[in-house]
Each structure stands twice: as structure tokens, then as C-alpha cells.
Amino acid sequence: MAEPDAIDRRLLALLQADGRTPHAELARVVGLAVSSVNERVRKLGERGVITGVHASVSPEALGLDLLAVVFVGWSAPDVEKRFLDRVAEEPAVLECHHVTGAWNYLLKVRVRNTRMLEAFLAAVIKSVDGIERTETLIVLSSPKETATLATDPPAWAG
């Protein structure tokens, strides 16, 4: 996949800041015709660069006050598929990452409270045959939490 050019990167930055920005406004900011912006945004979607437009919802507004990171480990190779099938259907799992080190996977989980977290661990994680160990960290605060990707490399990257 070809990397986005400078104009595409600018459009991506603007759309990440506000996905509802009218294409006429985007065109004004980047100095292109609206039809050119329409075409670029369409192509970014077709190429899989833009994967969707979503509303950002406050977890607290839904009563989901507890954020936890759960490390999950096993040694038998046949566990992975069962585990991934189980977490794929679970709405409390926001993210699932295959990681290096002592653990197989890291989950980011959002629930109401510690009682719900305990129930999640029992009903979702420990219900998968072959899971040998878990470690759960409760997030106390999140000074930075974003889904916005840098559209250009940072200065320190050279």
C-alpha cells in the first residue's frame, strides 16, 4: 500500500480531530477543490487508510468507570484459537494484543467496578480451557488516552 502524501496526511489529521468536518472546509484548509478532497477521502477509504468514522463516547457516561489491563498466559498451542474466539465476542474487551515476554496476550478491559471485573475474569478468561495464568492491573488514572495517530513522524524520529 502506498503511503499517504503530504496532503493526504493533512486530511487525515483534520479528520481525526473531527470526522464530521465538511469536505468544503477540508478543501479550504488544504487548498484543493472540493471534488479533489472528495476523491482523496474516498481513495483513503478504499485503500484501508481510513477504516471508519466513530463517535467518541465517555465510558463514565455509560457507568463503565473501571479500566483494567489483563495479561493472559498459557503454554499449550491449541489454547490460542479458543481464547481469541472468546474475547472477540466480548464487548468489555476494548483491545486485544499479542505481546512478547512472559505473557501471550494483553487485554484492555472496561467494566463498571471490581465486582464486574471479577465476574469478567471468571466468565470470560478462566472459562477458556488451558488458560494457566493471568495478571490484572487496575488503571487508577489516564493522563493521556487517545486513538489519534500521528500523521507525520515526530521530530525525535530523525
pLDDT in tens, 38-69: 999 999 999 999 999 888 899 999 999 999 99
Q: Is 134 helix (H, G, I), strand (E, B) or coil?
A: strand
| Same domain for 65 and 42 | no
- pLDDT digit string, tens, across residues 95-143: 999 999 999 999 999 999 999 999 999 999 999 999 999 999 999 999 9
| Same domain for 71 and 41 | no
How far apart are the two ends of the chain, measured CA to CA in Å?
A: 23
Which three cell numbers, joined as nine digits, stand for 144? 493521556
Q: Where in the sequence is the domain holding 32, given as residue range(s)?
A: 6-46
| Same domain for 87 and 34 | no
- What CATH number is associated with residue 97? 3.30.70.920
Which of 44, 45, 51, 52 is closest to 5 using CA atoms? 44
Domain count, the chain: 2
| Same domain for 96 and 64 | yes
Residue 106 CA from chain centroid, whole number: 13
pTM of the model as a whole: 0.86
Confidence of residue 158 (pLDDT cuts 50, 70, 90): confident
Confidence of residue 33 (pLDDT cuts 50, 70, 90): very high
Is residue 97 situated within a structural domain?
A: yes
- pLDDT digit string, tens, across residues 77-94: 999 999 999 999 999 999
Question: Looking at the predicted structure, is the pLDDT value of residue 1 above 70?
Answer: no
| Same domain for 74 and 30 | no
| Same domain for 126 and 74 | yes
| Ramachandran angles phi, psi of 135, nearest 5° | -140, 130
| Same domain for 70 and 134 | yes
